[in-house]
Structure formats: structure tokens, C-alpha cells
Chain A
């Protein structure tokens, strides 16, 4: 299972920032997003489709627009090169039938940027340990 530690998230950050489609789709995607992988949580700051900043020391005053929270085991399935059924997508994992991922906060921002955001998350599958 991936560690979902700072190094892993930084590798994902590099993949997003080097991906030309991520830049194309994310031209207007600027948001601070909380990603919670079980005990490991980060505020990821997207700016025009690039990840500009990662905050890993999360406190009560950490600000973000929306959050995705799931156990590390759930994310571990999501990031597999070929994820198993029901774990291949955040809409799948958060669907009322499944409830494996919680999406909270100003979710309108997520829906406004869903194409770019989902593309970026899919790039997690190419992160090497």
C-alpha cells in the first residue's frame, strides 16, 4: 500500500505539474483542497491547474474549500494501476450506494472543476513508490 506520505504526494504534484492535459483542462482551476488519506492529510493548493503548494501540517485553522476524506485502504485501491470495481473514481466511491469517500465543504467548487480535478487524481495511478 502506498505510504501517502509527503514524498508520495510530492511525486503526484510533479506528475500533475508536468502533465500538459492537466494544464489544458485546469486553466481556470484554482482551489485549496483537503485530501485525507486516513491519518495523512494535506491541503493541496491548485492554481490554474498546477499544484503550487502542499500543506501537510494540518491544524484547526487550516483553510480549504472542499475536502475528500477516505481511509488509506480505500485510496490504496483507487491508486492501483487497474483499480477494482467501485474504487476507480471519486464519484463511485462517494456515491450513496457505496459511501467509501466523504466529499465535504464547498462542493460547488469541485463540481465547477470536476473534469480537471478528476484528471489530476487519476494521475495518482502513475506515482511510483
Chain B
């Protein structure tokens, strides 16, 4: 019998700011919508283990989509005319537009890295819409990544971007999964990783805004000890400023828990998911 995963893919047209974006997403499971956001420069493949997890799928409708320019989601018209720079406003509003277009009712958002940082923006601006936010490898300010070398005609973008993030993963994570994450990173379009990092390191400066989060919904911060871009201390410092927040530090894991070590990540994730009703 053929071995086929329970994960299915679709293309959704998302009207947004005068454009119609053709967005790819994958889904599995039934129940509370759990929208998973990929990290900078990659795509929804990072979430394949959670999409395939039967235990998660018993209570959650797991959905992972590719942002415009990422994975199978194509860029907007005229994308070649200007440098791509992701902004907090576009990112937050687009996540909401995607969820609303799918008709999701009070979804949970779970994102890592830039997908974690955007949870802070979502918590401030959209706490009436979401049920809970799981901010993985997130903090209020994560400088130092908007680097020209990540988009440079004389540097191989795939190899440079992927190797730049390699050390964000823990040595305890299975080498094969670390290499798989490297592989995803090697496949971003030119300037996409750097453009995402404009949000990650420049536009997302939330240091003066954490206290403005109304605290209506829980925000779960989860950070791995090998994350040198958003260290446990940076997450703890941020979480202390956010009302209704819980901070979980994960041992023996790095910046890409869902893809670099899904087994270790699940041990930390399941207690969080149990708290979400």
C-alpha cells in the first residue's frame, strides 16, 4: 500500500492591499485552528512534523502557509522593481487576512523566529481575534541580521543564507534534521531571507510596546538555549513585560525547534497545547 501523509496542500487567493495573492498552505487534523508561521527565508515545510503528528491533529486543525515570495506562494506583481523589505504592518495584517479569508474562528498562531516576533505585534493589535499565541524564539528586539552578504551577486545566496543559520541549531539536534533545515534555507529566492530580516532586525523594535499588549489572550514564549539570535535571556526579559505571558526555556534545542528536533520540541509543546481551550 502506498505510503501517503495525511497532509494536504491548497492554493488560497488572499485579497490584500489591492493585490490578490496566491498563497499555498498545508493542513491536517481537526479542531482548533493552529496557524503555523515559518521562519525568515523559508516556507511551510518546516512544520511537516507537527502537521503529521496524530496527537496534535486530534485537537488542532494545523495549518502552515507560505508567505508571499516564499515556498509555493508567488510574489506580488512588479516584485522585481524594488528591494523586498518585510514590515511589521504588512506581516501582521497579512497573517490576519489569510486567517479571515479561510474563515478561521479564533485561531491560535504559532510562529518561530520572525514568526515568533510577529506574535507580539498580533498580541497588541489583534487580541480580540486570536485565541492564543505561541511565540517561539521571540523577543522584543533582535538586532544584527540585516546583512548585505545575504543578498549579494558575488555570494551564493542559498549556501550563504543556509550556512549563516546553521549554528542557530543545537548540536544535540539530529544531524539529518539540521541538514534538512539547512536545505530549506538554501532554497529561498534572492533577497528574500534578507528582506525578511529587515522585519526581524530593523522594523520589529518592540522594546517600548510590550507593556501595551492588553493581555486578553495568553502568549506562550518558547526559546531554545542554543538560540544565539534570540537568547533565552532576551526572551525572558521580553516575557516579563508582557501581560498574560508564560516563558518556557527549552534545553538542547536551538532556533528551529519544529524542524531541527521535533521530538524534543514536542515535549515542550504538548503542555502548552493542553492549556489552550
Task: Say if the beta carbon of A58 comes within 8 Å of chain B.
Answer: no
In contact, A97 and B231 (Cβ under 8 angstroms): yes
In contact, A111 and B143 (Cβ under 8 angstroms): no
State which residues 85-119 of A face B: CB under 8 Å. 85-86, 88-92, 95-98, 107-108, 111-112, 114-115, 118
| Known contacts A90-B167, A114-B163, A118-B166; A97/B172 CB under 8 A | no
In contact, A91 and B164 (Cβ under 8 angstroms): yes
Task: Say if the beta carbon of A82 comes within 8 Å of chain B.
Answer: yes
| Known contacts A89-B167, A111-B152, A118-B163; A95/B172 CB under 8 A | no
**Can you list 19 A-B pairs with a CB-CB distance of less than 8 A?**
A82-B172, A85-B226, A85-B227, A88-B170, A89-B168, A89-B228, A90-B167, A91-B163, A91-B166, A92-B167, A95-B144, A95-B228, A97-B228, A108-B149, A111-B149, A111-B160, A112-B160, A115-B159, A118-B166
- B234's nearest neighbour on chain A, judged by CB, is A97
Tell me which residues across on chain B come within 8 A of A111, comparing CB atoms.
149, 152, 155, 160
Beyond A83-B171, A90-B167, A108-B155, 18 additional pairs, beta carbon < 8 A: A82-B171, A82-B172, A85-B225, A85-B226, A86-B228, A89-B168, A91-B163, A91-B164, A96-B143, A97-B144, A97-B228, A97-B229, A111-B152, A111-B160, A112-B154, A114-B163, A115-B159, A118-B163
Highest count of chain A CB atoms <10 Å: which of B162, B166, B168: B166
CB proximity of B174 to chain A, nearest CB, Å = 14
CB proximity of A6 to chain B, nearest CB, Å = 27
